[in-house]
Chain A
């Protein structure tokens, strides 16, 4: 009952004229950003975060959550119409979305994507509403030791589940944490790592500097490199009858859509897993469960619905640890979390106690955003398609300009903008060499929180490091973190052994 009351309050907050407008604007911008090849929710949120200082925190998070949501929907548009995924989260949508478009059934694919996204979003936001308050209640018991252990768990998931080169992943995390340490040492108040005595380093390196560098400048360099080929836009005709047909066809995919919603939500909760693996897993499960798996990859509507359902569900799932524990479940939520700190909020379980309006306003807005996005999505498809035809040489310089002014606005220091360009180029080169970049963004956001939790725990216990394993909760979390790192490493070593023994002519 309590939850229902709070949720109604949340709806009231979300429906205030200003928030409603911000939500719709966010959905539209998100749809566009998501539909642009190369740009996804994380780019949109990173580039737009600086402009949200104009509105109160609740409005700001509603706007950015709508951008996040819209981008998840939008990713499908370019996957289907161009055959290029709008973001990594929509890669699996290409598998069946593109064949459908080539068969002249782009509208069917778009409807499948929209309906899947809508159901996935709705199921996951209901799960979110049910799970968030008890989890936050539980998390109120956490001391700095548990907070530190949780951060370690978040990093461990990137190492264990990220699927990237392990030394390179650890390097990326460490870089993010070191960059976060620049500026004044919070505990002793001494200046730390002031490179070349430049005054700009005294205020530290804001996470946005790295996020805009990587997801703005770096991403565009990446896209300029990869999009050198010609892009072919499929034509879609929209007739009411065909849309009704599409809905009828989609009946066969109901089970897939529901199961992908749950799968997406729970995969989304795990830090590092997020929407991309969720959508690929959902596609795999849908194919395995299907009666005619052979039609997958040739234009099966379930093949479009499954990944789109899962990526939307995962995007809501990744907000659960962000809101309740203060641990982001994806790079996009890492940036949202950083935003919350800038807006003067302290992410974590206390949000539910101290800022109920903020939390429930956000939850209420997720229900609404879901509803608006599906309508705007279907209504604006022809417009999106014409924008998609814009050459990248128009889009790229405009995004660069947005990065530059967006990077300047928060601190109003050109020093930060120079850093954005430097980080953009360096991390683009690192990414080309298969260094994962998302862990660095996660780490720069979590860096100050991690260091504070570590040092607070140690100061309180007179420097006794065993405090982390003496407390049952933090010990359990740390054991989980260690397992997450160790298990994949063992598995990898085993596979390698097997390969060597096969190569030597022995049986594995």
Chain B
């Protein structure tokens, strides 16, 4: 996709989002309540309307070729960038998805293992050390020092002995 097409696509998508936000904020009173000022939905409604107006102007400027992006026929994302972005965003989504199941610590271990070894092509020694040390450090920092419990999913029972040490 060229940058020119990307600009149009983004403006259209953001315009649709603005319409959705306007519709959503209209669930509350968006008009003027006499002697009281604007209703609860007015602020987000009119701001979303401003968003929509900006998108329409951007589309108009795109059509007039007024923005640098609308004149650019360069590929919006080259092959290398696409590759690294898919891998990175994909692995982040996997990290979060797995957090619901096996908890954050094991997910971080797997995420670092994958990223360091298969994306960064680092040695097993470095990969192993960082993948193990990071969740261990985070555990003691968050759970022992800050007393903030991070999600553990089904791996919770494995932490019982550790709880006994830190609490």
Chain A residues packing against B (C-beta within 8 Å): 51, 53-54, 165, 167-168, 170-171, 174-175, 177-178, 181-182, 185, 187-188, 190, 192-193, 195, 217, 220-221, 224-225, 228, 391, 393-394, 396-398, 400-401, 404-405, 408-409, 412, 414, 417-418, 421, 425, 429-430, 432-434, 451, 454-455, 458-459, 462-463
Contacts and interface: CB of A to CB of B under 8 A. Distances in A.
Interface in B131-160: 134, 138, 141-142, 145-146, 148-151
6 contacts: A51-B146, A192-B28, A405-B138, A421-B89, A434-B69, A454-B43
B40 A398 contact: no
A228 B79 CA distance: 12
Contact of B115 (A181, A396, A405, A462): A396
Given A171-B55, A190-B40, A221 B88 contact: yes
A425 B24 contact: no
A125 to B, nearest CB: 31
Contacts of B81: 224-225, 228
A404 B104 contact: yes
Task: Classify the interface of chain A: helix, strand, loop or mixed.
Answer: helix
A470 B148 CA distance: 50
Contacts of A224: 81, 84-85, 88
A365 B51 CA distance: 41
Contacts of A401: 108, 111-112, 134, 138
Contacts of A182: 44
Contacts of B115: 393, 396-397, 400
A193 B3 contact: no
Nearest to B59: A167
B6 interface: yes
Given A434-B69, A463-B34, A405 B104 contact: yes
Nearest to A465: B37
Size range of the chain B interface in the assembly: 35 or more
B2 to A, nearest CB: 12
A404 B44 contact: no
A182 B48 CA distance: 12
A470 B29 CA distance: 27
Contact of B120 (A174, A217, A394, A432): A394
Contacts, number: 173
B134 A398 contact: yes
Contacts of B122: 391, 393-394
A400 B54 contact: no
Nearest to B108: A401
A188 B40 contact: yes
Given A167-B58, A174-B54, A393-B116, A462 B36 contact: yes
Given A181-B43, A400-B92, A404-B108, 13 more contacts: A167-B57, A178-B44, A188-B28, A221-B85, A224-B81, A225-B85, A391-B120, A396-B88, A401-B112, A404-B95, A408-B151, A409-B150, A459-B36
Given A393-B122, A401-B134, A409-B142, A217 B92 contact: yes
A111 B3 CA distance: 42
Contacts of B21: 178, 193
A421 B93 contact: yes
Contacts of A454: 38, 43
Interface string B64-97: 0001110000001100110011001100110110
Given A412-B149, A432-B76, A171 B116 contact: no
A54 B44 contact: no
B69 to A, nearest CB: 6
Interface in B109-134: 111-112, 115-116, 119-122, 126, 130, 134
B14 interface: yes
A272 to B, nearest CB: 17
Interface in B9-34: 10, 14, 21, 24-25, 27-28, 32-34
A95 to B, nearest CB: 24
B40 A192 contact: yes
A417 B149 CA distance: 15
A418 B120 CA distance: 24
B34 A408 contact: no
A103 to B, nearest CB: 34
